[in-house]
Structure 1
């Protein structure tokens, strides 16, 4: 971890994306699937079996978009359309059975940054309510006190470069003082980039 920091000796702040950078987003989705299956089994006992719904969702995960997966589930199990909204809402507000665990390498890297007195920011795309819900349920191991979060959808025109520009202005930082850690490859003048594949070996 230290060798990555030593590569950028003059950097004072690090920006992280959230999904599949700090934690595997699949861990969130699978728990939401479980909760929806349990909800349907409780609501319609003897008609819907939670495990069958969960197995279907797990099997289809990653093969289609979320909206397509929700529609496929509603159709496959002949669920009345009114419950589609319940499923969609669950992604935004779910209280998960288990805490979301960070990638161990990301955790150790962030802990090293804190020890080196670096500033840490999170810039995340997606529905702000859902992204905040994820953040609240991550096991941060004390790191939460050192984080500042920016939601891309709350910054016009809803893109990462504009959000980072806002971050730099509000925190009186210069481009050349920043390192971005993420999976989204993009170029911003004088901002160095560490692909998450360099940090997290899956």
Structure 2
């Protein structure tokens, strides 16, 4: 029980999603693979070359403008941006998204202690829900309560709503995220890499 010092004094735990529970690149690279397969079928361009280009572009510069870069490199018609965007939102991934091992261990101990676990998710709710559904939760999915900040306001507003709605004390809530995302001094924050 290596996380008891974090769990015992707290009422509830709030987790971010991307690069907090799992590596975001695991989702993105599978979407690029599916897109490349689609383009190979439609345009007879080698899918492996597209995948390699997209992976390298993502790992170098991130996801921003990746369709535009790929379209320019392979002379793809602009109409394919619709397919790319739909895949980003609704892709059925070939492989499950796996949680970071220390995060999974921490979640299991929180669950065993009978304390609530909330996901506070930023970004497009359709895409984020798609990711959540394709994660390997190891039996923990039923114990999660999910909130989308896009539907309720800013991250802070949503966090305040969770505290109020679930009758929590701010000083007994721990937020686990990628980077400092809580300016409220009464709510404690833990960077996920500290797990």
Residue by residue, what CA displacement relative to the aligned partner does 1:33-64 show, whole Å, maximum 9, x if unpaired?
0000000111123xx11101000001111433
**1:162 aligned to 2:161?**
no
Residue by residue, what CA displacement relative to the aligned partner does 1:83-106 show, whole Å, maximum 9, x if unpaired?
012111111000000111111111
Aligned residues: CA RMSD: 1.3
Match of 1:123 in 2: 120
Q: Report how many residues are paired.
A: 194
Q: Whole-Å Cα distance in 2 between the matches of residues 95 and 42 of structure 1?
A: 17
Cα gap change, 1:60 to 1:184, in 2 (>3 Å): same
**1:187 aligned to 2:187?**
no
Match of 1:97 in 2: 94
Cα gap change, 1:58 to 1:65, in 2 (>3 Å): closer
Deviation at 1:5, TM superposition (A): 3.2
**Matched ranges for 1:140-159 at <5 A:** 140-156=137-153, 159=154
Indicate conservation of the 8 Å contact 1:15/1:123, yes or no: yes
Deviation at 1:169, TM superposition (A): 1.7
The normalised TM-score by structure 2 is 0.94
Gaps (5+ residues) in structure 2?
A: none
Q: Whole-Å Cα distance in 2 between the matches of residues 196 and 110 of structure 1?
A: 12
Indicate conservation of the 8 Å contact 2:36/2:51, yes or no: yes
The normalised TM-score by structure 1 is 0.91
Indicate conservation of the 8 Å contact 1:175/1:189, yes or no: no
Q: Whole-Å Cα distance in 1 between the matches of residues 8 and 94 of structure 2?
A: 41
- Please point out which of 169, 172, 176 is paired with 1:177: 172
SS at match of 2:14: strand
Deviation at 1:187, TM superposition (A): 2.4
Match of 1:113 in 2: 110
4+ residue runs over 6 A deviation: none
Match of 2:11 in 1: 12
SS at match of 1:123: strand
